[in-house]
Amino acid sequence: MLVLDANILIRAALGRRVRQLLVLYGGSVQFFAPEVAFAEAREHLPEILSRRQISVAEGLTVLNLLSEIVQSIGVDAYAVFEEAARKRLMGRDLEDWPILAAALALDCPIWTEDTDFFGAGVATWTTDRVELFLESAGSA
């Protein structure tokens, strides 16, 4: 299992590498993202796509298709960990608490490019290293 941050969802919609990893390991590893991560990706993606002169409709379609691989989880699944997550993120981006709380609730790592999660008490994986985790998790 692995919790994805919104920046990973955005990367999956923008490029190939993250999407390839999700498709390749989606059958053997469970991917999760809080509903708010999908909402954040939907909020920021149109501007990013426009700047890169990529079709907004196509990018949002890719993001919507990710829900077939990445399971969206509601706040009720991780709300009990909100206080702990907020404490661990004190002095950092507190809006990221749902990602950390979801990882705590599921007892699994986070896939992110956001350094705010580093040292927050859960394993974090960046895209350039996550395949090491996916290979071992997929064979377990």
Q: What is the CATH number of the domain that holds 86?
A: 3.40.50.1010
Report the predicted TM-score, pTM, of the whole model to 2 decimal places.
0.93
Instruction: Please give the chain's pLDDT, 140 residues, in tens.
Output: 999 999 999 999 998 999 999 999 999 999 999 999 999 999 999 999 999 888 889 889 999 999 899 999 999 999 999 999 999 999 888 889 999 999 999 999 999 999 999 999 999 999 999 999 999 987 75
For the chain, the domain total comes to 1
Give the pLDDT of residue 140: 59
- Please give the Cα distance from 138 to 133 (Å, whole number): 8
Which residues, other chains included, contact 123 with Cβ-Cβ below 8 Å and sequence gap of 6+?
Answer: 109, 110, 133
Range of the domain at 30: 2-139
**Residue closest to 22 by CA, chosen among 106, 138, 122:** 138
**Residue closest to 69 by CA, chosen among 28, 31, 42:** 31
Which residues, other chains included, contact 67 with Cβ-Cβ below 8 Å and sequence gap of 6+?
Answer: 38
Give the pLDDT of residue 117: 93
Give the pLDDT of residue 137: 86
